[in-house]
Amino acid sequence: MNDTIYTMEQWRKDRTFKAEPGQQITAEIYEQMFNCMPPRDISKEAIQNTDIPVHAGFMMGEPHDHDKRGALYLAFASNNYGKGTKYYYLGLAHADPVLHGTYYYFDCLDAISDDLRPAREYKNDRAAIQAAADLEATLTKYTFDNGRKTGETVLYAPRYY
């Protein structure tokens, strides 16, 4: 990884954006990329591809490239630990899939995963509630219509003694 901060002056000199994945960039570049077109939400893949702590981030609104799995977007992130915000170029990443249908979310330390689980993985709500009870997890059921959340219901919340 490159330890130098990639600046607007370097970008102008390069005549094309050449920051390396994981490289720190200036706030000016971050804002330029954020404001040049409507941004996309940062994907889990973009965050997981690096060891940089991410407090906020985005991906460019248009693909930069494509591979066998689909469109790749330039990803950017920032973090702030009370010593001033730092900005980073994370590299290329795929967007998260657009959610459609019904999903369960188990909220606990020992959860099955930190992702939404498709409802089809469970026979019915009762089976999902039993899994939540076994994990001592709060269970929330979500419905999505082409990426837009249309419903949210807490189905189970454990009683703590």
C-alpha to C-alpha distance for 132 and 7, rounded to whole angstroms = 48
Q: Could you tell me which residues are beta bridge partners of residue 148? A: 145
Per-residue pLDDT of the chain (161 residues; tens, 9 = 90+): 678 999 999 999 999 999 999 999 999 999 999 999 999 999 989 998 888 888 999 999 999 999 999 999 999 999 988 788 999 999 999 999 888 999 999 987 655 555 789 999 999 999 999 999 988 889 999 999 988 899 999 999 988 74
| Residue 135 confidence (pLDDT) | 86
C-alpha to C-alpha distance for 99 and 77, rounded to whole angstroms = 23
C-alpha to C-alpha distance for 1 and 11, rounded to whole angstroms = 18
C-alpha to C-alpha distance for 107 and 109, rounded to whole angstroms = 7
| Residue 156 confidence (pLDDT) | 95
| Residue 82 confidence (pLDDT) | 76
**Does residue 109 contact residue 133 with C-beta atoms inside 8 Å?**
no
